Chains A and B, each alone.
Chain A
Amino acid sequence: MNRPANIPASTCRDAPILKERGQREVFCGLTGIIWLHRKMQDAFFLVVGSRTCAHLLQSAAGVMIFAEPRFGTAILEETDLAGLADANDELDREVARLLSRRPDIKQLFLVGSCPSEVIKLDLARAAERLTQIHAPHVRVLNYSGSGIETTFTQGEDACLASMVPVLPGTEDRELLLVGALPDVVEDQAVDLLTKMGIGPIHVLPAPRSADAPGIGPNTVFACLQPFLGDTAAALERRGARMIQAPFPFGEEGTTLWLKAIADEFGVDDATFDAVTAAPRARARTAIANASEHLRGKSIFFLPDSQLEIPLARFLTRECGMVAVEIGQPFIHKGLVGPDLDLIPAGPTISEGQDVEKQLDRVRAARPDLTVCGLGLANPLEAEGLTTKWAIELVFTPVHFYDQAGDLAGLFSRPLRRRALLKLEERA
């Protein structure tokens, strides 16, 4: 009874993928710092980059201006470009200054950018060197958030993957949840699983470095987000095993995700149902209410957050929408395969982007709702299309049962708004 009711005969798993290469309209991986720095409370993210990188972070952070956030950009200057030795000295000096000013920092991430990568500034070496200098108080790690290597949410993947090699080892059988979610949803997930008798449960990233989870051959893990491919691979290299499932969006996604873990831990059906029945019912009611305006409406996903395939599964199967095109920056079937399995064949599945051509397809299809980045939303609205900006999906609690209604609501609000407004002159 916890199996999906209607597994389609022909699914998107085997649908041909439209691969596009052209102009992309997506943030780079630096953007992840905006939410990661809030989640990891003793970490500082130091981007080694240009004024553009600093400006991107500031623009993406929008109204989130704090006295001194736990991120910053070491802006490369002319002299740094002239000699790498000097750039390394400069970096050491900036880091020393930063750490002496912020004694609360226990983990420092050196985040690579396009400029640092093009000039081949070796941040891995720098991180090793700086770890030695500042041990044991501070551990320095590095990852790339550059736009030539990563898109938008891939930055979180790169960050988490960089932490895996230094996680302590353990032989214990433990469950690891992977992904930086708002505390409220993380707590819900842990609570549901704990009630089934599953444990101990750890989360990567931990809020503080002292609570970093152990990892080993008896660790099993489940990803909370569909963009954590490199992290999953790194965990597997440490002997851990991944539990595959659709992602926990909506009632069905959450149930299947929980069920996969429950099966791994031998939870019986009665227990599973006892724990999930009430929140499942709540989620169904909430979705039914929120999806009233979504039924029968068409939706077009431009590639952005990497959540597109799991969300399309939720919106088509639980909210009655019809997907026209589901675009993702890149498609990792090892992660989104179970979601693709549930989407009936029909929509175009596209990977990568050639934005002008894709917009031509949007204009031709005239979907009821277009999911896109912030740069495209208002221009498409001005063309009479209704849009939902994708970045909100990453910043808002949308996972698990009790947020399923909110998730549907994020998509229905623009449609409801369009229906509500009477702004045209009436004869």
Chain B
Amino acid sequence: MKLTVWTYEGPPHVGAMRVATAMKGLHYVLHAPQGDTYADLLFTMIERRNHRPPVSYTTFEGRDLGEDTAGLFKRACQDAYDRFKPQALIVGASCTAELIQDDPGGLAETMNLPVPVIALELPSYQRKENFGTDETFYQLVKALAGPVEKTPHITANLIGPLALGFRHRDDIEEVKALLEEMGIGINVVAPFDATPHDLTRLGAAHINILMYPEHAETAARHMERTLGIPFTKTVPIGVGATHDFVAEVARICGVEPKKDLSRLRQPWWSKSVDSTYLTGKRVFLFGDATHVQTAARIARDEMGFEVIGLGCYNREFARPIRQLAKEFGLEALITDDYLEVEKAIEDAAPEMILGTQMERHIGKRLGIPCAVISAPVHVQDFPARYSPQMGWEGANVIFDTWIHPLVMGLEEHLLAMFREDFEFHDEAGASHHGGHAPRAVEGGQPPVSEADSPRSISESKTDMPAPVETGTDVMVWLADAERELKKIPFFVRGKAKRNTEKFAAERGVTEISVDTLYEAKAHYAR
């Protein structure tokens, strides 16, 4: 039993839904109680899908339990087949149905439906959403993809993009463009928009582009083994990674690594003088392993940031992330405990977070800017505009996205210079974020902003948890020093405060004066 407040991943059957919902002509019959239908809203609201996920829930109730839940399941299967006429069915159990052990796979098999029925075994009490996506796609491929004649021209399958993915829709277009420049055609993209029938043609490709290892690595390995299709190991997110990707594909396919760099602006944007202010920005990375891996390289090599912490929530990829952290001289944070991540970020006191929607909330609370690089996603991660992460345009998009939350170049200096101007004061935040002042770092509670609680049903002012121990209770800031601290721009103030206190504590100083502040500054100067 583990107490959980917020989770990075849903249960594995939600992963299966992400595969099913991405596809066409496939239907998922899920043995589950009514409340589990909440998952539909992830797709219709967050991703703004204009259709319902192709999922029939059996929605058994308490009174069904002693009776015939198996019969209920079979009826749901038959109804789903009759109504939707899918090319294939997947069947499985949610966490509750797993306990009543009706064996959906076995039941469906006895029905002799005229289409392939693929049973999913997704252990809900051990595994999570990403296991569900990977396993479901693998089972589909295993059941449907057999040896077929190769296409006469060199073609690739793009595998891994699915529903509720972080920018998958646009990444597909970028990767297609990269391949097209090398003269490589597309055989099948899956699961995104693929039909079960399309999956039977997977074997015709010469190479698998493994876009998202989280969702398709098992399928990629299976196809390598059984169909002899090699797959790519480089995920083309970032300038360097995209160059490497092109080289890798060219090597595997024996073609020229042709590329059209005319649309790539990131390198110049990063070299131009306005970007000098990015130098050495201390960033903390957290998300799924693939996006963290690629982001780390971009942060260090292509933005000139300093990576001061990194980690991932999907344990399946703990090993490569630990390896990566070592390369950066760091200890990887592998956890799916949101509070642990928050603590690590608070301790590291980065100037910026590159994370998920969860870290965006952490950033909001700590007053640290955050850009989103990975799922779990929210409605704003599905922009109307074209906004890939992969390929050349992806590199451009990432540059813009990452600097957006930051105070811009010259503005940073102006804020420091005129920090006492009442209209130009630093807590106003970046000028391009109207009204989004980060909270002052010292003490107090995070304000619960309007945006945080539009549905708050209680307007109580007393609804505040007990003040958080900041560890400063034994340390006294003299009035002068406190005033001086306030003159330090807000985005480094927290760090300055903590450093000074640490410096003072190490020397047994209990009263912090202006001198202590500057001695600490000199001590920590890099």
Contact = CB atoms under 8 A, between A and B. Distances in A.
Chains A and B belong together in one complex: yes
Interface of A: 22-31, 34-35, 38-39, 41, 46, 48, 50-52, 54-56, 58-60, 62-69, 71-78, 80-81, 87, 90-91, 93-94, 97-98, 102-104, 114-115, 117-119, 146-149, 151, 180-184, 207, 356, 373-379, 381-382, 395-396
A376 B94 CA distance: 21
26 contacts: A31-B35, A39-B457, A50-B125, A51-B9, A52-B13, A54-B7, A55-B39, A56-B36, A59-B42, A62-B455, A63-B452, A63-B454, A64-B454, A67-B365, A75-B1, A75-B4, A114-B95, A118-B99, A147-B33, A148-B62, A180-B457, A374-B44, A375-B41, A376-B40, A382-B50, A396-B455
B124 A148 contact: no
A71 B45 CA distance: 24
Given A68-B465, A75-B4, A27 B38 contact: yes
Interface string B14-38: 1000000000000000000111111
Size band of the B side of the interface? 35 or more
A41 B458 contact: yes
Contacts of B112: none
Contacts of B361: 65
Contact of B96 (A41, A80, A148): A148
B525 interface: no
Given A65-B452, A356-B79, A382-B50, A114 B33 contact: yes
Interface of B: 1-7, 9-11, 13-14, 33-42, 44-45, 48-52, 56-62, 64-65, 76, 79, 83, 94-96, 99-100, 123-126, 128, 339, 361, 365, 378, 446, 448, 451-460, 462-463, 465-466
B59 A23 contact: yes
Nearest to B35: A28
B34 A147 contact: yes
B6 to A, nearest CB: 6
Given A65-B452, A77-B126, A374-B41, 14 more contacts: A26-B34, A38-B456, A39-B458, A41-B458, A55-B14, A56-B38, A77-B1, A94-B2, A102-B465, A147-B36, A151-B34, A184-B459, A207-B460, A375-B41
B34 A28 contact: yes
Given A75-B1, A148-B60, A378 B45 contact: yes
A322 B454 CA distance: 31
A379 B52 contact: yes
Contacts of B100: 118
Among the interface residues B35, B36, B65, which one has the most CB atoms of the partner chain A within 10 A?
A: B35
B2 A77 contact: yes
Given A115-B95, A119-B99, A97 B62 contact: no
Contact of B5 (A69, A149, A182): A69
A265 to B, nearest CB: 28
B96 A379 contact: no
A24 B34 contact: yes
A64 B62 contact: no
Among the interface residues B36, B60, B451, which one has the most CB atoms of the partner chain A within 10 A?
A: B36
Contacts of A67: 365, 446, 465
B64 to A, nearest CB: 8
